[in-house]
Structure formats: C-alpha cells, structure tokens
Structure 1
Amino acid sequence: MSTPPSRESRISALPEHMRALLRARMAGHAVVTDAIAPVDRTAELPASFAQRRLWFLEEFRPGGVEYNSGLALRMTGALDRQALTWAVEQIVERHEGLRTTFDAVDGRAIQVVHPSMTVQVEHLDLSAYADPAARDAAADRVLRERLLTPFDLRVGPLFRVLLVRLGDDDHALLLSMHHIISDGRSLDILTGELGACYAAALNGRDAAELPALPVQYADFAAWQHDRLTETELQGGLEYWRQRLDGLQPLELPTDRPRPTVRSGAGAVHAFDIPQELAAGLARLGREHGASLFVTLTAVTQLLLARYSGQDDIALGTATSGRDRAELENLVGFFVNTLVLRSHADPSATVGDFLASVKGTVLEAFDHQEVPFDRVVEALAPERDPSRMPLVQAMVVLQSSTSAAPVFAGLRTEPMSVSRDALPFDFMLEFEEREGELQGAIEYGTDLFDAGTVGRMAGHWLGLAGALVAGGSGRVLGEVSMLGVVEREWVVGAGRGVVRGLSGGSVVEGFAARVAESPGAVAVVCGDVSLTYGELDARAGRLAR
C-alpha cells in the first residue's frame, strides 16, 4: 500500500492562485477580487516592475547573459519538422510576450507588443558524427552556445528555437528566452502547448484545443502599475525598510578578490542529499510547525554565517507571482524576489533559530506583493556594480518536476545543458524529485573555485545532519559542520595533525606543533611541501 501524500504535498500541488487565496484566508486577510482587464494596445504599455529592473541592468551593462533562460528536450522518434514549425508559429501568435520588445520613453521602460513576429526554427545537423559520445558533446556545446547568446531587448525576438538532428529518429530541441519575458512556469506552459499544437498539426487541425487567455502580460503590467500606487505600496515598503534596516553585504571568504564589476560568470556543483537526511529535515520542520523550505533555509543561513563570520544573514528567494487565476497559463515574467533576514546567534537553541526563520519566511511572504525593484529603490538607490543589491545569495526549493511534455509519436526527456552565467554570487537550489531531494550550488566563478564550493556542499550536509541529530535544545554554537573525515583529520592524534586539540583552540594546537616538531611536514600540494616551521613563518608574514 502506498503512503498517502502529506498535507503539505497536497497543498503544494494546488495552482499558485489557489494557494495564495488559502494563505490569505488563513491569515485573516481580505481576498482581492479586482479583475485584470485588457488595456488599449494603441496607448503606451508600461513594463512591469520586474521587467524594469532587468531593463535597467541591460542598459547598465549591455550584452549580459545572466538572465537568459531555457530548456532542452531529447526527442526520439519520427519528428515532423513542418509540424513543429507550425506549432511554434501558433505559440508565438497566442502569447504576446513572445512578440514583445522594449524601449524607453522619457526614461521609462515600456513594452512594444508587435502584431506579428517571425521566430525561425533554426536547424543544425550533427548526425555525421560516427562516435555518439563526440556527437553528444558537440550537441552540448551548441546548445550551451545558443543558450548563452545575448538578446537585443530593443530588436527581438526574445524567444529562440533550435532543433539539432542527432540521427534519423533522434533530435534535441532547445527553447531559449530572455528572463524579461519568461519564468520557470512559462517554460512548462510553452512545452505543454507546443506539444498540443504539434499534435494538432499532425492531425490536420487548424488549431489546438487550448484554454482561452483572458488577458496578456501587457494587461497585467498595466494593472500592476494602476493598483500598486505609491499610496498602496507605502505600508509594504515601510515593512521592508524596517526589516532590512542596517543590512550589510554578505562577505564570504573568496578564492579571488571581488572584481569591481561582476561578470556573471558561473558554474554549478550538484550534490545528493541522502534520503534519510532529507526525511530528517522534513521531520525536524514538522516538529516545529515549519515547512521543508524553512529547514533548508535555516541550514543555508547557518552555513553562510559560519563561512562569513556574520550572524546577520540575508538570503533571497523567489516567489512565482502567479497568485491570480488569470495568470495561471500565461507566458511572462511574474517572479518576485523576497529577502529572508535572520540572525544565527550562536547562543540560541536550534528550536529558537527554526522558530525565528519560520517567522521571517511567513512575514516575507505576507509582504511579497511589493516588487523587489521598489524595495531596492527604497533601500539601495546607489548601485554597487560588483554585487547584486540587498542579497548576494539565494535559496530556492523547486517542486517536483512536472511530467515530460507530450509530443505525439515522440518520446521526450529533459536534457541537461551546461551554462556559466549567474546573476548572484551564490545560490543553493533544491529540488524534490520522485520522493528524493537533490541539491545544487550555483556559484560565481569570479570568486570561487570548484573545490571550495564542493567543500561548502559537504559542510551544508554536515550542518544538516548535526541539526537533525542534535535536537531542538542544542545550542547553535555547538552544532558542527565538519564531516567524519574532517573531524578525524583535525582531532585525531593518530593522524598527527594537531595534538591535544580537545584542550584548546586550533591556533593553540598549531603553535604547540610548531614548537614540538618545526621540521615535520605540515602540508603537501602536488610536489610542494611545507614544514610546520615554514608554514608558521609564512603565516606570520601574511599577518604582518
């Protein structure tokens, strides 16, 4: 007999607008019912608040690719290229966002919705490769190159389609867009509707049976500007002013000095979270009336506090922004960034810290309607080009991935496309997949080496395990992030690294080792080794 889904899982499966209504009713808030109405297309169409921020960033540093998004699908079977091209045309006609470019009028970012726009399906043939491994490597390079090709926001199109032929019945399909017209949900919508239009083409129908769209993204942006006036925003902005007052940038130790202008170059380190640990984190949350997201956030904030030496940690997270039924099936950029600020006081208990993080998360979501762009304007009007404003690190929990999109006569599966662009210094992303929890750290390669980030992932797992095993009454300062091997390396006298550490600090243990055996080898890197005496001398020179 299968285990019934938990209440949290059942609630998370609801559409976002239904979850928003449920949250509002449970909090005793009035439910907003003012409908979004279509606006005159001959009038000036304002960019949404979220779009204004990306427009500003692009104008400040043109040609960036941090906000390129997309997905790739492996398609096995007899693919009809003509049907696919027709399906793309139908999708572009259906969603105005795919026909939108941007401009500025008197310094204001505006949307330009084009009556029609051609999005070519680019074709590339790699089937001549004799070695499948070499062919797949070439395909990954091509997909990555196209995904990271800059968009021109003024010219467009901001939506690209690439079909790569790998064999007679083997293709890779890449859909790529600029984030200013899309988000994660948009990609799911696009692939689902593309499959429906593809099936309609194969069956000779003039159109796919898709639900009507009551509004388009430009209508939402106009409604947002009309509704979120200065008066309406004042209460929410005041909350964020008080909540983020005195916030300092996150200063993680880096492998290289921070550049004066961040490049956005990034990489990803994936890691597995053991099933027993994932279950323990969920159980720890339930014991404190908190969601899995709260426990993941708490572990991440504690990790960053240990690495930075700062108790006051602000993390960003993303909300879908689709809290209305009209927006559920619409392609567009609805995501908003929230700031989660908590104090990882070493003298606090684990239970108190979890309660604090839970309160922070709930309050932030209660004020999620305030666009992040407006929070930045209110609190950080002077931009630092070396880092993102307000938050430099993110934490995100993705729901279980939806089923692979259905394309008639084809077997589809997602393809991983390597990318090296990131808008933040550091992001911990978690995904629930078929009852398992996967982790990934996206990091800025301007600052961090792969080995450093790998150790950070290990320390995250160490902290998570210690929190689960330690109990609510344990003091945070006593929670260790070291793994078994590291503890043995540091403490174990049998390894001869630091003796007598249990009676003093690491510094004291090292000093004792220098006095005892200055000629003994302390560290080895490749063909280079340093004795304790040499290491102590170098440390002294560095300190001076």
Structure 2
Amino acid sequence: MTADLAARLAALTPEQRARLRARLPRARAVRHQLTPGQLRLWETRQWVADRPVDVVCQAVHLTGAPVDLDLLAARVHGFVAAHEALRTTFESDGDGAAVRPVVHAQLPPRLIRARCSGAEEAHALARELAAEPFDLGNGPLLRVALAQGPMADQAWLLVVVPNLVFDAWSFELLLDELARPADTDPPAAPAFSAFAHEQRGWLESPAGRAAATYWASEVADAPPPLPTDRPRPAGTGRAGARVPFAVSRTVAEGILEAAQREAATAYTGWLAVAWAALAEHGGRDDLLLGTFTAGRDRPGGTDVVGYLLNVLPVRLRDAGDGSHAARTRAARAATRAGLAHAAYPGELIAEARRVPGTHPLLDAVFVFDNLGEATREIQGAQVATADLDKGTARYDLTLAVYPGPDGADGWLEYDTELYEESTARRIVERFTALAEQAARGAVETRPGEGGPA
C-alpha cells in the first residue's frame, strides 16, 4: 500500500500537489500561544490595518557569478519545511481580541519568478509585495521573489515576511541556508514554539521576577516622549519616510577607538552619539530610548527562526560633563546593567503606558546592526543586502546605524504625521556632526599625537 501511495503521489501534476498541500496543513495543525512580542505585533496590525509597518522587506543583490534560481527556490522551500515559524498562521476570534498561532505540517511559501532591469525595479517589486495585505489566517506569510538581472551574473532575491514569524537574525539564517555548500547538511531547526514555552516558564522563575523588578525601576518617573512638530493624533497609520546618512571610515574608526578607551563597544559609542543628538532635540538629557537585543542567549537560540527580537528601554540620564567620553561611560553602565535582565520581554515592563499608539513605552529607538558586516557568497556570487524603505514608521523616530568596511551608513525613519522632513534632517545633521566631533576628539587625544598619554 505504501508503494502504491508513493506512485500515486508521484503521478500528481504540480497543480494537484499544491491543492493537496493546501488541504493537509489544516488537518494537522497544532495550536500554540503568542509570545508577548508577537502579541504586540498583532495589536499593532489592528492599529494600522494593512499598512506594512512590521514587515521585513529585504533585497539581496547577487553579482559576480550566475546563480541557479531553481536551486535557490528549492532551498527556500526546504527552509520553510524545516522551520515551524514559517509554517504558522494566526487564528483569531471575530473581533481580533484573542489570537492563537497555528503551526501547519506544510505551508509552502509564495514564490515568484521575475526579471528586473536593475536595483530600482527590484526594490519596487519588493515594496509592492510588502504593501499587499497578508492573510494571517491562511498564509502563506513568506513571500520570496527570485529575479534574473539584465546580465547572466546578476540576480535578486527579495524577501518579504511579517515580523510575527521572522526577524533580522532569521533573515541571516535564511541567507546561511542559501549559501550552504551542496555537500553539507543543514543545521538543526529548533522549534519556535519550544522557545515560546521556555520563555513563559522563565517569566515565573526567580530570574524572571527579578528582571520585572529591575525594568520597573528603570522606567519609573520616565521622561516625556520627545517633542513632535504636530500634536499626536488619536490614531495613526504610521506613514513614514527616511533620511539617509553616511560617515567615513575615519569617523567610524574614531567612534570605535573612543569607545574602547572607555572599555565599551562600538554599539555603545554610537549610542552615546544618538543620545547627544536626541537630547539636543528634546532639550533634556534624561532620555528613554529603545534598543534591540537578539533574544537568543538561551542554548540553541541562535538557530531558531521566528520573532525573538526584544525591544528594551535604555535609560540615559547622567551625561556628566556632556562630553562624548562621559556619555559613553554612562551608556556603557546603563546597557551593561540591563544585559543581566535582557531576556525579559519589553512588552511586559510595568508602567508601560507612556506613548499612545503602536508601542506603549517607546517613541524613539536606536538600531545598531552589524549582522551583515561579514562578506557572504551564494553559489559563488557576492551578496549585498538592503533593508528597504516601505514608506512606514515603526516608531515616532528610529535611528539606524550600519557599520561597514568603508565607514557607516544608516537612516532616520520618522512618522510623517508627527514630524516635518526638515526636523528629521536637522536631527541627522546634528547626529553626523556629533559623530565627527567625537571621532576628532579620539584622534586629538591619541597617545603620541599631541594629546595626553
């Protein structure tokens, strides 16, 4: 009977197989619970309707060697089959108040084949896929476009997926799988539901309760949100725009050097610059700024696909003499204290009703992303990734810094219902000017170059 069934399955047409796969998942679906992070994303979706606010939209440019797009497609299908987060849909009651994730045995991705004349056309296709509403109840939630470029050695991989089932680290895991040599086996694929279950248990542990106490004290008597150009509306569609920037390698190296003198990391050095720029804008040094942690410090967490990203507040309030060095020391102390409690979901922090809208606690967020700093090849082709502007804003203000071999670039994303473009540009200009000033200070005080030893 088994051989007969295999023969019958092999004889099915691709269309018949697709219809069969569509019927199988519901029969074998398993219901779980949302994590606090997923619940916030679900609530955000109710707030902004179908605007692609919390949607990953990445363009991967492959150059320098021809790429077998059929092989890429097969790898994408295998990746989805291995990771339950990408086979998940969401089941809600009539008014959307209660929601449950449903893991399906099979849920193939939506895979599109195209041709693109260049980056502009490829990026437009990715934004079009992101703007199309997602059917969270039926899926699929992963959309991938494989596009051949104008030359044989150019292609694009466009990845669009809601954050409900995916984050930046998950994207890196996908790229790792696409780059995996053909003679190697894929790594183990831990279940996202196992992470969610373990997280719920940890919250009831002594460490979880201690973390809740710590974060409650950090946000106590929090400063007001940063000033906006227009009054905050009762509701917001989170329409947004970005102001890009770039600084030289000399500036980036200066920020790193200044941070290392304070026994801090490049992240902390850039955080100190962001603090100075936003403190100028807000007119006060006491700042509650959101920052991202990967949420993957538990054993096996580095291989989990899903939304593990944690958005936590960092309270920056003692700038000392206002110098970059003093801000770096204060930022280092604040971030190190929070690291001991970084597993606590930011959504659960007590007294977290500070900002109406898509996030109850945070109006401004700082992002330092060096995940893609290392070079990568897929089938011999060089990989270059771009996080695309979808015309939305996750927060009132998001300041992102991406380090690279030639310096650092990034953008300030702002809610266009709250801020004028001129204000966003003024913040960016001060941010880059303060970065240059901090880098010059590092050079001027370098031992052997005229400064103090």
- Give me the TM-score of the superposition, normalised by structure 1: 0.68
* Aligned-partner residue type, residue 129 of structure 2: R
Q: Could you say which residue in structure 2 is the equivalent of 1:518? A: none
Letter in 2 for 1:176: V
Residues 77 and 108, structure 2, Cα contact 8 Å, conserved in 1:
yes
Alignment match, 1:275: 249
2:329 to 355, 377, 382: 355
* 2:129 aligned residue: 146
Residues 96-135 of structure 1 correspond to what in structure 2 (within 5 A)? 96-104=84-92, 109-126=99-116
Contact kept in structure 1, 2:393 and 2:415, CA below 8 Å = yes
2:225 counterpart (234, 250, 264)? 250
Q: Secondary structure at the match of 1:144?
A: helix
Residue type of the alignment partner of 2:186: L
- The 8 Å contact of residues 172 and 372 in structure 2, kept in 1 or not, is answered as no
Given that 2:30 and 2:103 are in contact with CA atoms closer than 8 Å, whether structure 1 keeps it comes out as no
CA contact (8 A) 1:268 1:441 kept: yes
Could you say if the C-alpha distance between residues 281 and 414 of structure 1 is closer, same or farther in structure 2, counting changes exceeding 3 Å?
closer
Q: Which residue of 2 aligns with 1:339?
A: 313
Determine the C-alpha separation between the residues in 2 that align with 1:304 and 1:464. Answer: 13
Q: 2:395 aligns to what?
A: 424
**Which residue of structure 2 aligns with residue 56 of structure 1?**
43
Q: Deviations over 1:64-101 (max 9, x none)?
A: 31110032223455544443332222111111111011
Match of 2:303, SS state, is coil
1:413/1:360 CA distance change after superposition, 3 Å:
closer
Q: Which residue of structure 1 aligns with residue 83 of structure 2?
A: 95
Residue 223 of structure 1 corresponds to which residue in structure 2?
Answer: 198
Give the conservation status (yes or no) of the 8 Å contact 1:111–1:218. Answer: no
1:275 CA displacement: 3.0
> 1:458 and 1:301 mapped to 2: Cα distance?
14
Say which of 54, 57, 79 aligns to 1:70. Answer: 57
Contact 1:270–1:441, Cα closer than 8 Å, also in 2: yes
* Deviation per residue, 1:374-421 (Å, 9 max, x gap): 11xx21358612x63222111122226255553336554435644212
Cα distance, 1:316–1:412 mapped onto 2, change above 3 Å = closer
| Letter matched to residue 103 of structure 2 | V
Aligned to 1:439: 410
- In 2: Cα distance, 1:289 partner to 1:410 partner: 38
| Structure 1 pair 234–434 and aligned structure 2 pair: CA distance change class (3 A) | same
Distance (whole Å) between structure 2 residues aligned to residue 259 and residue 171 of structure 1: 43
Tell me the residue number matched to 2:32: 45
Contact 1:75/1:171 (<8 A) preserved: yes
2:352 equivalent in structure 1: 380
Q: Percent identity?
A: 25
Deviation track 1:122-157 (CA, whole Å, cap 9, x = no partner) reads: 12345xxxxx5xx65333322211133332322211
- Structure 1 unaligned runs (5+)? 1-40, 127-131, 472-544
Q: Deviations over 1:156-207 (max 9, x none)?
A: 11111112344462432211111111111111111221343xx64xxxx9xx
The amino acid of 1:294's aligned partner reads T
Partner letter of residue 328 of structure 1? T
Out of 60-69 and 449-458, give the one that drifted further. Answer: 449-458
Counterpart of 2:157 in structure 1 is 173
| Correspondence 1:455 to 2:426 | yes
The one-character-per-residue Cα deviations of 1:90-121 (angstroms, maximum 9, x if unpaired) are: 11111111101122479654321101112231
CA distance in 1, matches of 2:112, 2:268: 43
Q: Is the 8 A contact 2:354 2:361 kept in 1?
A: no
Structure 1 counterpart of 2:20: none
What secondary structure sits across from 1:152 in the alignment?
A: coil
**Counterpart of 2:146?**
163
Change (3 A) 1:346 1:78: closer
Contact 2:54/2:162 (8 A) holds in 1 = yes
Structure 2 Cα separation of the partners of residues 276 and 82 of structure 1 = 42
Please say if 1:187 is aligned against 2:162.
Answer: no
Within the candidate set 161, 174, 185, 1:209 is matched to 185
CA RMSD, Structure 1 to Structure 2 (Å): 2.9
Alignment-derived partner of residue 445 in structure 2 = none
SS of the residue 1:46 aligns to: coil
Cα 1:63–1:189 change in 2 (3 A) is: same
Distance in 2 of aligned mates of 1:281 and 1:355: 13
Q: Which has the higher contact order (CA 8 A, sep 6+)?
A: 2
1:407 aligned partner, one-letter code: I
Q: 1:307 to 1:407 in 2, by over 3 A?
A: closer
**Aligned partner (choices 363, 368, 373) of residue 397 of structure 1:** 368
1:294 aligns to what? 268
Distance in 2, Cα, partners of 1:226 & 1:344 = 35
- CA distance in structure 2 between the partners assigned to 1:382 and 1:307 by the alignment: 19
- Report if aligned partners of 1:241, 1:379 keep a CA contact under 8 Å in 2: yes
Contact between 1:102 and 1:153, CA under 8 Å: does it hold in 2?
A: yes
Matched positions, count: 411
CA distance in 2, matches of 1:43, 1:163: 31
Instruction: Indicate conservation of the 8 Å contact 1:249/1:391, yes or no.
Output: no
Q: Deviations over 1:484-526 (max 9, x none)?
A: xxxxxxxxxxxxxxxxxxxxxxxxxxxxxxxxxxxxxxxxxxx
User: Which deviations, in whole Å up to 9, do the C-alpha atoms of 1:296-327 show, x marking residues without a partner?
Assistant: 22221121121111231111100011113312
After superposition, the Cα gap between the structure-2 partners of 1:349 and 1:68, relative to the gap in structure 1 and judged at 3 Å, is closer
